[in-house]
Amino acid sequence: MLARGCDFAPDTIVAFYCGSAPNVSEGKAAFPSLTLGAEIRGWWDESQSMKMKDLRQAIAAKKDRLDRMRPLPLEALSRLEHYYDIEITYSSNAIEGNTLSPVETTLVIEQGITITGKPLKDHLEALDHYDAIRYVRELAREQTPLTESEVRNLHRLVMHRSRADIAGRYADLARYVRTETGRYEFPSPAEIPALMGDFCEWLRAVPDRPEKAFEAHRRLVTIHPFNDGNGRTARLLMNLILIRCGYPPVAIRPEDRPTYIRGLQQAQAGVGAESLELLLFQRLDATLDEYFRALAPPL
């Protein structure tokens, strides 16, 4: 399976190079050269590893540059945070099916305008998420270890108006998702308290850094502890950890959704989290560049 933004997956390259498709009916090997396939897969893994290494180094250098710019001008920082909080609200809701555009989301949050023809639920989701991301900013200033109640409070805020009946409450229903390989079932409601206890122990034990933020996101989505709103809560938690360790929060854009969903499914299927991790690091790298452009002094 190929993540969006890459040209060919290893198996596709093998098939193209060998000029052969799998011959299942005759029970023969899918490709005439297994050695060649192994070599190409090795090259592919090494290429992805080098890409990730370069990306991490670039991000570390940009983080050093951002730290040297601190303290940032308060007015510029406030405007930037407000812009990104609305952008993250729009994008996080949009990839879950919310139909408000970026401009409409801004109007709902800043002016309380009702958008004609758009569902009430979409308006409420925008208001809920904006309140939740503002809470994330406040919580990030506290350096005390994150607790299970704070994770549940993130969910309570992001579902407060749109789904008050489930806000902050663990799931009491079976949850599953249809994937490219079939139906994936999340842990049962009876398993959730223990899994969340272990998850929050892990949160307290691991130092804050981008790797922790991205893994926390993946782990929470995999537990899927709520009936709805798991993705939004996981992305809020991810950004909380990023802000705590001095990085800007990142938006997973609607155009990232195919790669994002595929990466989550691969991780849940045990294939590996590399595709998802690469996307999240790419988004962090791009967001740092956006911050520098926004904070650059006028010419």
Catalytic residue flag (residue 123): no
In the chain, the amino acid numbered 3 is A
Crossing angle of helices 257-268 and 210-223, rounded to 10°? 70
Per annotation, catalytic residue among 129, 155, 217, 224: 224
Please name every residue paired with 179 in a beta bridge, in sequence order, or none if there are none: 182
**Cβ contacts of 133 within 8 Å, gap of 6 or more:** 85, 88, 89, 236, 239, 249
| The token pair that represents 88 in the structure block | 């993250």
CA dihedral 97, 78, 159, 227 (to 10 degrees): 70
d(CA 88, CA 44): 33
Q: Quick one: tokens of 207? A: 């130092």
Confirm if 92 and 154 have CB atoms less than 8 A apart. Answer: no
C-alpha dihedral, 194 to 243 to 233 to 97, nearest 10°: -150
Separation between Cα atoms, residue 231 and residue 93, nearest integer Å: 9
CA neighbor of 234 nearest in space, from 207, 260, 272: 260
Q: Is the dihedral of CA 71, 73, 77, 78 positive or negative?
A: positive
What are 177's strand-pairing partners?
184
Q: Which two tokens stand for residue 98?
A: 């919310």
Asked if 208 and 140 touch (Cβ cutoff 8 Å), the reply is: no
32 vs 27: CA distance, rounded Å: 13
Residues with catalytic roles: 224
